Amino acid sequence: MMQHVVGMLLALIELLEAEAERLNANVRRLIVEGAFALVAASAAGGLLVVGSAFVIWAFFTALRTALGEAWAALIVGVVVWILVGGAMWLLSGRIKRARQRKPA
């Protein structure tokens, strides 16, 4: 009887050891993939900011030659406000819909 219990405990310990090794490998893979995703997201975000800045600058430069610096700055500022406000409005609507679908 005692041999049977000891054998079962050894089998359980071996199973726990194997599962711990598998968990360790999965956690390491998750950390590496998460780090790569973070680097890629940071690079994409940075490129998005730089690209947006160039588009705004080009729009301002084109309007400055036609309307003058003050009017160009006013128009570009209003357009940026409208774009950011529209994006925030769409995002808030999406968040509201997601909260309504999610059961409490």
pLDDT tens, residue by residue, 14-68: 898 989 989 998 999 999 999 999 999 999 988 988 998 999 999 999 999 999 9
- Residue 73 has a pLDDT of 92
**What range does the domain containing 14 cover?**
2-101
Dmax over CA atoms of the chain, in Å, equals 96
Contact 67, 55 (CB under 8 A): no
Q: Alpha-carbon distance 76 to 65, whole Å?
A: 13
Residue 102 has pLDDT above 80, yes or no: no
* Paired tokens of 42: 């940071």
Amino acid at 10: L
Residue 97 pLDDT level (bands cut at 50, 70, 90): confident
Number of domains the chain is built from: 1
Report the predicted TM-score, pTM, of the whole model to 2 decimal places.
Answer: 0.55
